[in-house]
Amino acid sequence: MLRGIFRACYARFRHCATKEKYMSKVTLTFCAGKDRRLTWARKDEDYVADFCLISRRTLDEFEYKVFRFHFLLGADWKLCCRQMKIDRGTFFHAVYRIQQKLGRVFRDLEPYSLFPLDEYFGGSVRKTPSPKAPEVIEMPRPPVAPPLLKTA
C-alpha cells in the first residue's frame, strides 16, 4: 500500500513537472488557521517543491542518490547500476525501500500531507473535531401524557 501511495504521488509529480509552464495557474485558496484568510498559490509548483524537499530530508545519502538518478533524472536501472557501481539486486532493494519510506512520509506528514492528492490540490478536506470542542448532549424529551378518555 505504501509503495502504491508513492507511485500515485510520483505520477502527479511527473505530471506537474512536465506540464507546460504557461498552463500553470494561480488559485485563490482558503488558508486554515486562526485568522482564516484567502491566499494565492501555485499548487503545481508547490507540489513539485514539496515532493523534492520531503524526499531530500527523509532519505539517507545513498537512498537519495538512487532517488535522484532513477526518479528525478529518469535513468534506467542499468545506467544507475553502472554509474553508482552497485549490482542489480542492491539497486532494486533500494528502490523498493525508497518507495515504502516515502509513501509512509507522504501519507503521514503533518499538518498537510501530500497524499491523498485531492486534498493537497484543494478538493475535499478531512476535518477532525477540535479537542476543545464542547460535547453536545441531547436532552431527553419529557414524557407524553396519555390522551384523556371521553365519557358520554
Phi, psi of 23 (to 5 degrees): -85, -10
Own/partner contacts of 7-13, CB < 8 Å, gap of 24 or more, are 7/99, 8/115, 8/117, 9/51, 9/102, 9/103, 9/106, 9/114, 9/115, 9/117, 10/51, 10/71, 12/47, 12/117, 13/47, 13/48, 13/51
144 inside domain:
no
40 inside domain:
yes
Residue type for position 58: T
**How many Å apart are CA 52 and CA 135, to the nearest integer?**
41
pLDDT for the residue numbered 38? 73
Q: In terms of residue numbers, what domain contains 62?
A: 2-120
62 inside domain:
yes
Per-residue pLDDT of the chain (152 residues; tens, 9 = 90+): 888 889 988 998 888 888 776 666 666 666 666 666 676 667 788 888 889 999 999 999 999 999 999 999 999 999 999 999 999 999 999 999 999 999 998 888 877 777 777 676 765 444 555 555 555 556 666 777 776 766 65
pTM over 0.75: no
Structural domains counted in the chain = 1
pLDDT for the residue numbered 24? 62
46 inside domain:
yes
Helix (H) or strand (E) holding 29: strand 27-31
4 torsion bin: left (phi>0), alpha (psi -120 to 50), beta (else): alpha
pLDDT for the residue numbered 131? 55
Q: Which residue has the cell 512536465?
A: 18
66 inside domain:
yes
139 inside domain:
no
**How many Å apart are CA 103 and CA 107, to the nearest integer?**
6
31 inside domain:
yes
pLDDT tens digits along 117-148: 767 676 544 455 555 555 555 666 677 777 67
DSSP-derived secondary structure letter, 116: S
44 inside domain:
yes
**How many Å apart are CA 65 and CA 84, to the nearest integer?**
8
